[in-house]
Structure 1
């Protein structure tokens, strides 16, 4: 009988060239598509140069409902505009020809801490009101319902922004498994102290309000990524285009944008939680600091 040789195994060099192997001292290369964050300094620190698809990303914040929108709005806007596919045109009547309308996928908000504020979203560039069901808001009664909703949305290849403060490590692992079959972004917003817990999310970031630009800047630290440990904080200028003309002259003076600052030994940002009477919506104003 003829001898059958076993198939040759791929070499380590070949796997590295395909981006399937990464060394701990260097950033990993994304094997799937990414969505640029629009912050050059942040993209330079993210494996693949942007927010990864086919994975879940954790955002750890001291106060949910504001910072995540400022950080993610540019990427969500770009993704939502890029993935549109034209529908078939409906036959026109008389001399008026129908135009093909773009079919866009849904952005699902799961249990946001504040009522979505459409003018605020538009101010961030997320003009999602042009098409029905472009933005879906789901308010659940229990953490289990929120988790189930996020899981079903990820399995359905829907873009997800979910607030899951009580998710357990095994539940996050399940979401990560489902995200590997999706080509839509999936972001989980959790409290900052959750960074002390284990998580299957390949990318975890701590986001805090910066002191520059009257509190509109963001301080970002990469807690976990495919690559070396991130040292220090990225200072990102996150003033929305619709808001910048409304700021006073003193607030318009740009601070050194998108730079890395040393990691403080005991970083503590005093946060004042505005009452509903002060800001009834998530994006009605910047984070107030004591």
Structure 2
């Protein structure tokens, strides 16, 4: 009978395959929400692309979703542009979340000029991210924003009513935000990977 060989010896000799849990992807543009990054193919926001965030109504926490990203970018001395937000942001709250307001510019554009202003900012190459809330954006306008994001190598965040969910979108990433009964986000489209079947909860603190 052959003598028993300790498993540790086989492992040390690399004669036994040792399975390991897959590592979480680490993207160049993490969202700041660990659970969300874990299900996104890029490990975060798609680089130089349009991300569409669908809302039940404006002001339900959509800025909370992107504040970790704005903090990371501005602390890295990158510029962020906010185009015609529906509500005046709480500057003190943004600072508490780590956003360097010296790197944030607000553009007050009329309704007819929101898309034009957003596109120009994205194309400029001087903005790390541009946020906008267009009331009227057809497929052609959304495609122009996607191309502009690629051209300027910027993150484009477009916040729209979730009634647009039934329409096709050129966005590389499409999220739907829910505020009730608890804050959570659904991934409705993510280029390069499958769509998760469950919502991702958004805890009070960023992970």
Smaller-chain TM-score bracket: 0.7 to 0.9
TM superposition shift of 1:194: 1.2
Which of 110, 114, 118 matches 1:141?
Answer: 110
Structure 2 CA distance for aligned equivalents of residues 203 and 146 of structure 1: 21
Q: Which residue of 2 aligns with 1:223?
A: 188
TM superposition shift of 1:76: 1.5
Give the conservation status (yes or no) of the 8 Å contact 2:146–2:171.
yes
TM superposition shift of 1:116: 2.3
TM superposition shift of 1:34: 3.0
Q: Which residue of 1 aligns with 2:157?
A: 187
Q: Give the total of aligned pairs.
A: 180
Which of 99, 117, 122 matches 1:154?
Answer: 122
Partner-residue secondary structure (3-state), 1:35: coil
- Taking structure 2 as the reference length, the TM-score comes to 0.79
Give the conservation status (yes or no) of the 8 Å contact 1:61–1:67.
no
Structure 1 CA distance for aligned equivalents of residues 188 and 205 of structure 2: 24
1:27-66 mapped onto 2 (5 Å cutoff) = 34-66=28-60
TM superposition shift of 1:77: 0.8
Structure 2 CA distance for aligned equivalents of residues 186 and 63 of structure 1: 20
TM superposition shift of 1:210: 4.7
Structure 2 CA distance for aligned equivalents of residues 109 and 234 of structure 1: 26
Partner-residue secondary structure (3-state), 2:175: strand
Q: Which residue of 2 aligns with 1:282?
A: none
Give unpaired runs (5+ residues) of structure 2: 1-24
Partner-residue secondary structure (3-state), 2:151: coil
Structure 1 CA distance for aligned equivalents of residues 71 and 115 of structure 2: 25
- Taking structure 1 as the reference length, the TM-score comes to 0.58
Are residues 1:115 and 2:84 paired? no
Give unpaired runs (5+ residues) of structure 1: 1-28, 85-104, 213-217, 241-257, 259-290
Which of 233, 237, 243 matches 2:199?
Answer: 233
Whose helix fraction is larger, Structure 1's or Structure 2's?
2
Which of 58, 61, 64 matches 1:67?
Answer: 61
Give the conservation status (yes or no) of the 8 Å contact 2:52–2:175.
yes
Aligned Cα root-mean-square deviation (Å): 2.1
1:195-229, CA deviations, whole angstroms, 9 ceiling, x for partnerless residues? 111211111000111545xxxxx211001112223
Runs of 4+ in 1 over 6 A off after TM superposition: none
TM superposition shift of 1:124: 2.7
